[in-house]
Amino acid sequence: MIRPAHRFPLLSRLLHWTMAALVLAMLFIGIGMVSTISPRYAQLVSIHKSIGIVILVLVAIRLINRLINPPPPLPADLPSWQVVAAKLSHWVLYLLMFALPLVGWGMLSAAGAPIVIFGSLHLPAILPHDAALFAVLRSTHTVLALLLFATFLAHLGAALFHALIRRDEVLPSMV
């Protein structure tokens, strides 16, 4: 493996890989739970709410960390369209990691449903009970989740492109 001259700080790497695992798990739990009627349904929904809030807290920490510890530079010879794609996709990922838990929380609030995480911790409603608002937010949650999955695939593909084809410092800088 190339020893990177520029590497993400340890906290950045920890946050990245922890959130990578959580976000990927959330996408699969989310699509799985809405398509099942089995006894796993309730457990999946419960885990989904808890992880969602964990992601919301972690992404807030991560944004602050990013402002304090900026990422290492991209390879100097990276074509400019790839630089733009990289930066844009990173900000889209940040935006979605904030938006999905907030829309999820807001949607449960608008449904008038109790919002329970970790089995017994009750969160307050962040929006008024409003069925029409729920319907909009519920659909938004699905659209944003699919967008997040697509962005994740692009991110994974790009990481593998850097690691296997360009063989540059991008992946080593994050491991």
Partner 1 sequence: MPEDSIDRAPPAEATPDTATLLKRHPMQLLAIGAVLAATAAGFAYTGGFLTPQRLSPNHFIDAMETAAGGPHEGFRRAHAKGICIAGHFVGTPQGRALSSAAVFASGQPVSVSGRFAEAAPDPFAKDSSEAVRSMALRLQPAGAPEWRMAINDTPGLHVSTPQAFYENVVASTPDPATGKPDPAKMQAYLAKHPETAAFLARMKARVLAAGFAEDSYNSVDGFIFVAPNGARRLVRWTMQAEEPFATLTPAVRDARPANYVFDDLLARVAKGPVKWRMIATLAQPGDPNRAAEVWPADRAHVDMGELTIDHVESEATGNCQDINFDPLTLPPGVAPSDDPIPFARSAVYSVSFRRRTGESKAPSAVADKSAGARP
Binding site residues, partner 1, CB under 8 A = 5-6, 27-28, 31-32, 34-42, 45, 66-67, 70-79, 82, 87, 91, 111-114, 116, 120, 122, 129-132, 134-136, 138-139, 149, 153, 156-157, 160-161, 164-166, 168-169
What letter represents residue 115's amino acid?
A: I
Nearer to partner 1, 22 or 116 (CB): 116
Question: Least CB distance from residue 175 to partner 1, whole Å?
Answer: 17
Spell out a b/e string for 76-88, using b for 16 or more CB atoms within 10 Å of the CB, else e: eebeeeeeeebee
For residues 12 and 128, what is the distance between their CA atoms, to the nearest angstrom? 36
Phi, psi of 115 (to 5 degrees): -115, 100
Question: Least CB distance from residue 122 to partner 1, whole Å?
Answer: 6
Nearer to partner 1, 18 or 155 (CB): 155
Nearer to partner 1, 58 or 168 (CB): 168
Token reading at 58? 């972690």
Question: Least CB distance from residue 159 to partner 1, whole Å?
Answer: 9
CB atoms within 10 A of CB 129: 12
Q: Where would I find the H helices in 80-124?
A: 80-111
Question: Least CB distance from residue 150 to partner 1, whole Å?
Answer: 9
For residues 93 and 22, what is the distance between their CA atoms, to the nearest angstrom? 13
Question: Least CB distance from residue 18 to partner 1, whole Å?
Answer: 19
Nearer to partner 1, 18 or 166 (CB): 166
CB 58 within 8 A of CB 22: yes
Nearer to partner 1, 9 or 72 (CB): 72
Token reading at 5? 């001259």
